[in-house]
Structure 1
Amino acid sequence: MQTSVLTKMFGERDLRDACSVAAEVGFDAVELMGRDPHFGVETDDEQARELRAHLDDLGLDVSCVASYTGGYVDMDETECAEQLDRLERFCELADLVDCDMIRHGPRGPPEHHATDTDYDRAVEWMRRAADLADEYDKELLVEIHSVTIIESASTAREFFERVDRDNVGAIHDAGNMYISRTDFGRDSVAELGDWLRHVHVKDELRVADEALGTFEMETPAGTELFQPRLLGEGAADHGPLFAALAERDYDGYVVAECHLPPHDALTDRSIAECELAAMERLATEPTNA
Structure 2
Amino acid sequence: MKLSVFTVATPELSPEQLAAAAKEAGISGIEWRYKEIPPEMAGETPSFWRNNLCSISPEWDDAELSRFRDAAERHGLRSLSVTPYLDAGDLGGTERVLDAARRLGASFIRLGVHRYDRMRNFRELFELQRAYLLEAEALCRQYGVKGLVETHHVTIAPSASAAYRLVEGLQSEHIGVLYDPGNMVYEGFENYRMGMEILGPYLAHVHVKNGGWVSGADENGMTRWVSAARPMNRGMADWRQVVADLRAVGYTGWLGVEDFSSELPGPEMLKKFSAFMNGLMQPSEA
* TM-score bucket (shorter structure): 0.7 to 0.9
Runs of 4+ in 1 over 3 A off after TM superposition: 110-114, 162-166, 285-288
* Residue of 126, 130, 133 corresponding to 1:126: 133
Change in Cα spacing, 1:251 to 1:181, as seen in structure 2 (3 Å) is closer
What TM-score, normalized by structure 1, do the two folds share? 0.83
CA RMSD of aligned residues (A): 2.4
Change in Cα spacing, 1:165 to 1:172, as seen in structure 2 (3 Å) is closer
**Contact in 2 for aligned 1:203/1:232 (Cα 8 Å):** yes
User: Alignment partner of 1:13: what SS?
Assistant: coil
Q: Distance in 2 between matches of 1:178 and 1:275?
A: 19
1:16 alignment counterpart: 16
Instruction: Give ranges in structure 1 of 5+ residues lacking alignment.
Output: 73-79, 210-221
Q: Deviation of residue 140 (structure 1)?
A: 0.2
Q: Deviation of residue 128 (structure 1)?
A: 1.0
Q: What is the letter of the counterpart of residue 239 of structure 2?
A: H
Q: Distance in 2 between matches of 1:133 and 1:164?
A: 10
2:50 alignment counterpart: none
Aligned residues: 263
Change in Cα spacing, 1:171 to 1:114, as seen in structure 2 (3 Å) is farther
2:176 alignment counterpart: 169
Change in Cα spacing, 1:64 to 1:206, as seen in structure 2 (3 Å) is same
Q: Report percent identity of matched pairs.
A: 25
Q: What is the letter of the counterpart of residue 19 of structure 1?
A: A
Instruction: Give ranges in structure 2 of 5+ residues lacking alignment.
Output: 37-52, 217-222
2:194 alignment counterpart: 187
Q: Distance in 1 between matches of 2:141 and 2:11?
A: 30
1:47 alignment counterpart: 64
What TM-score, normalized by structure 2, do the two folds share? 0.84
Q: Distance in 1 between matches of 2:118 and 2:183?
A: 13
Per-residue CA deviation, residues 60-117 of structure 1 (Å, 9 max, x unaligned), is 0022111211x33xxxxxxx4xx21122121121122111201112232069975211
* Residue of 161, 168, 178 corresponding to 1:154: 161
Q: What is the letter of the counterpart of residue 31 of structure 1?
A: E
Change in Cα spacing, 1:14 to 1:86, as seen in structure 2 (3 Å) is same
Q: Distance in 1 between matches of 2:249 and 2:261?
A: 30
**Contact in 2 for aligned 1:240/1:287 (Cα 8 Å):** no
1:77 alignment counterpart: none
Change in Cα spacing, 1:128 to 1:284, as seen in structure 2 (3 Å) is same
Structure 2 counterparts to residues 107-118 of structure 1, below 5 A? 107-109=114-116, 114-118=121-125
2:145 alignment counterpart: 138
